[in-house]
Amino acid sequence: MSGKRDYYEVLEISKEATDSEIKRAFRSLARRYHPDKNPDDSEAETKFKQVQEAYAVLSNPDERKKYDMFGHEQPGGSPFGPGGFQGVNISIDDLFGGGIESIFSQIFSGGGPRRRSRGTDLLVNHEIPFQTVFDGAEQSMEIDVLKICDECDGRGSPTPEGVRECPTCDGRGRIQRIEKAGFFTKQVVTDCSTCRGEGRIVSDPCEACGGEGRLTKPKQVKFTVPAGVSSGTRLRMRGHGEAPRGGRGENGDLYIQIEVIEHPWFERDGSDLLMALPLGFVELALGTQVIIPHLDGEDLRIKIPAGSNPGDTFNLPGRGLPGGRRGRGSVTVLLKLDMPKKISRSLRKSLDSLKEEIGTDFDSLEDSITDEAQRRRRGR
Ligand SMILES: [Zn+2]
Ligand SMILES: [Zn+2]
């Protein structure tokens, strides 16, 4: 068992800390324990390294997730490789300005033994009609993806002797060496030049795949679009990404990013739907009944009472989209006044003659404005 301290404890933050809280905690502690400030203080040096290690892991979303799951006892050993964390060379200036991100982001981008064990993840976009958000759907699509070559079973050669592990890098594809940089040691990772990062050397390449071990082929993918889905949602299809190099290991994942095609009149707010309903002056004044086809197959029936105003809203609970925390959302209908674009001579005449009768009920413009303001304040 390792007697290592919890990374969150080291950075003096909670398990729920946000990225910026993590960064702030790291900067502040790293400044406190930086060797420039604590010359010949081995305790500060140890703490400085601990803080760096904790930050390296917690500032990397993948590594943080793994740490939250397994703690220090990760399957496959330390994420920093067999040598453990080596420390990075950070000047005290880096801790005030920018610069630390690029240093830390390189730590896990290096090779290591896990490099060839997994194929690359893929991301594809997929458009769905608005109705599908309501119904959900089983869908399928064809993608072109790197698959294991059937001819050579992914080895890259028709014979087992035609391919061997690269002796320089032991099949890792990368060379790792430790460099001393003054006070610190740092880990430098480069592509292996013998195998050009492939990890293997093919002397008798397969004709079908040219030694790559993989071929791009069309593949049918079936997936379920859940009702209530929104644009930008990524559906993860485990194992449907690219095949791994060398035919060993697992496939990457396929992410299907959903784009919802806009509805001709509904706007969406989570599981609620909003729409504007333009009506003429006469319909607002006398009231009317409006029937609109709806996503759930049952028409929306809205009774507009006489004396309605533009800006009035009608809420139809339970008629919105599924997927909300309390079942279906609601439909909100906002009344608009639709004025005729063109007023004919005869209409002008009729309107003019009605002016006396249907003009405002107020004696003055100021009364009318005051009344409207009061109505708004009362929320009506
Ligand atoms: Zn190599
Ligand atoms: Zn092949």
DSSP-derived secondary structure for 127-160:
EE-HHHHHH-EEEEEEEEEEEE-TTTTTSSSSSG
Domains in the chain (CATH in brackets) are 7-109 (1.10.287.110), 117-260 (2.60.260.20), 267-338 (2.60.260.20), 340-380 (no CATH)
d(CA 316, CA 275): 11
- For 42-51, the pLDDT digits (tens) are 899 889 989 9
Q: What ligand has the least distance to the C-alpha of 159? A: 2
Does residue 55 register a pLDDT over 50?
Answer: yes
C-beta separation of 335 from 279 below 8 A: yes
Where are the extended beta strands (E) located within the chain?
122-128, 137-148, 163-165, 174-181, 184-191, 200-202, 214-225, 234-237, 254-260, 267-269, 272-279, 288-292, 300-304, 313-316, 331-337
What is the DSSP-derived secondary structure letter of residue 261? P
What per-residue confidence (pLDDT) applies to 11?
Answer: 94
Residue 75 reports pLDDT greater than 90: no
CA of 207 to the centre of ligand 2 (A): 6
Helix 19-33 with 42-58: angle, nearest 10 deg: 160
* Nearest bound ligand to the CA of residue 151: 2
Contact 284, 310 (CB under 8 A): yes
Distance 87 CA to ligand 1 centre (A): 26
pLDDT tens-digit profile of 162-210?
888 888 888 778 887 777 767 776 777 888 888 878 788 889 999 999 9
Reduce the DSSP state of residue 310 to 3 states and report it: coil
| Ligand with the closest atom to the CA of 193 | 1
pLDDT of residue 58: 93
The model scores a pTM over 0.85? no
Distance 195 CA to ligand 1 centre (A): 4
Ligand 2 centre to CA of 142 (Å) is 22
What's the CA-to-centroid distance between 154 and ligand 2, angstroms? 6
- Residues 277/335, Cβ–Cβ less than 8 Å: yes
* Residues whose Cβ atom is located within 5 A of ion ligand 1: 166, 168-169, 192, 194-195
Q: Which residue has the tokens 């009920």?
A: 361
